[in-house]
Structure formats: structure tokens, C-alpha cells
């Protein structure tokens, strides 16, 4: 069973100078020294798997070529070469195995996709409060959300 927690939105500066907020999660990865390194990943419910740029693999001590080679579609159906690894990560106090692809690009957004996350947590995006809740799958909060959704569905 996983606990529930909330991440506030992150702040980004657009090219036109406008400040915007986006849903992010602080995800800790073990670096090559075995220490936890926190990265902020954009929460993307449209992404089937989490993705990091290839340059992050070096910092984490991962040889990307030891992973499963796949080709994924990015925005606009751009085809990208990637290597999939399952790696332990920490979300607040929960440690999970997360499927991650390292993209064959040195610069790419860090994405937290559905795989490894959505089956363990119910996510609630509360845009008005600029926060995202990760509700543990078997907690009382998850049961309340299920009850609400079932009622709406009727």
C-alpha cells in the first residue's frame, strides 16, 4: 500500500517571457554514487512511459545500451530511438520500480508517464489550486474517489 501525497505545480518561463505553471512531481533517482538525486518531471497522462534525456543516464550511472531498444513516437509523431530500463525511484516516501526510457537526445523534457504510476496511484489534477495529488491505490481516499466516480457514472 502506498501513502498519498501532493506536489505543487512547477513554474516555467516561456520564450515570450510569460510565466506558466505545470504539473510536476519530484522524483528521486539513485546516482552512480548510490545517493538520491531529485529531478522534477512533468506529469504527462498522455505518455505511456516515463522519459529522460540520454544525458541523465550518465549521471545515474546507467549504460543506456544495456536497456531494451525501442522506437517511440513523440510530439507530432516524431520517431525517437530510446532504451528502456526499470529503475528504483522514490516519490516522497514510496520507493517503486519505474519503467523509464532514455531518449536518444541530449536535451529533452523529463516526463513522468503512466507506466508504474497510474496502477499504483489515483492522480487528481487540481488546476485551480495548482497542485497534483497522488492517492495511494488502497487508501481510504482512493475508495472515496472511486465512490464519487461510480456515483457520477450512474
Model confidence pLDDT, tens digit, residues 94-144 = 899 999 999 998 788 999 999 999 999 999 999 999 999 999 987 888 889
Q: Is the pLDDT of residue 145 over 80?
A: yes
Question: In angstroms, rounded to a whole number, what is the distance separating the alpha carbons of residues 34 and 88?
Answer: 11
Cell for 112? 513522468
In this prediction, residue 51 carries a pLDDT of 96
pLDDT single digits (tens) 25-47: 999 999 999 999 999 999 999 99
- How, if at all, do strands 36-43 and 111-112 pair? parallel
pLDDT single digits (tens) 114-126: 999 999 999 999 9
Burial class (CB in 10 A: 0-12, 13-18, 19+), 64: buried
Question: In angstroms, rounded to a whole number, what is the distance separating the alpha carbons of residues 140 and 130?
Answer: 23
pTM for the full predicted model = 0.90
What are the residue ranges spanned by the domains of the chain?
Answer: 5-153
- Residue 44 is classified by DSSP as -
Question: In angstroms, rounded to a whole number, what is the distance separating the alpha carbons of residues 39 and 53?
Answer: 12
What is the arithmetic mean of pLDDT over 47-61? 95
Q: Which CATH number fits domain 5-153: 3.90.1150.60, 3.40.640.10, 3.30.390.10, 2.40.70.10?
A: 2.40.70.10
In this prediction, residue 79 carries a pLDDT of 86
Say if CB 115 and CB 92 are below 8 A apart: no
* Nearest residue to 104 via CA among 60, 69, 148, 132: 69
144, containing H or E segment: helix 140-153
Non-local CB neighbours of 134 within 8 Å, separated by 6+ positions = 2, 4, 5, 6, 7, 25, 91, 92, 117, 121, 122, 123
Radius of gyration of the chain (CA): 17
What is the arithmetic mean of pLDDT over 72-97? 89
Amino acid at each position: 500500500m502506498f501513502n498519498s501525497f501532493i506536489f505543487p505545480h512547477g513554474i516555467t518561463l516561456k520564450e515570450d517571457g510569460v510565466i506558466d505553471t505545470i504539473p510536476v512531481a519530484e522524483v528521486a533517482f539513485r546516482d552512480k554514487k548510490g545517493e538520491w538525486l531529485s529531478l522534477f518531471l512533468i506529469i504527462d497522462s498522455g505518455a505511456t512511459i516515463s522519459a529522460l534525456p540520454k544525458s541523465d543516464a550518465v549521471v545515474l550511472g546507467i549504460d543506456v545500451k544495456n536497456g531494451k531498444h525501442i522506437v517511440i513516437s513523440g510530439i507530432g509523431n516524431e520517431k525517437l530511438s530510446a532504451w528502456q530500463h526499470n529503475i528504483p525511484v522514490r516519490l516522497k516516501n514510496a520507493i517503486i520500480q519505474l519503467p523509464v526510457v532514455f531518449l536518444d537526445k541530449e536535451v529533452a523534457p523529463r516526463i513522468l508517464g503512466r507506466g508504474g504510476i497510474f496502477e499504483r496511484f489515483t492522480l487528481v489534477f487540481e488546476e485551480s489550486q495548482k497542485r497534483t495529488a497522488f492517492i495511494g491505490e488502497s487508501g481510504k481516499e482512493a475508495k472515496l474517489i472511486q465512490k464519487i466516480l461510480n456515483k457520477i457514472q450512474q
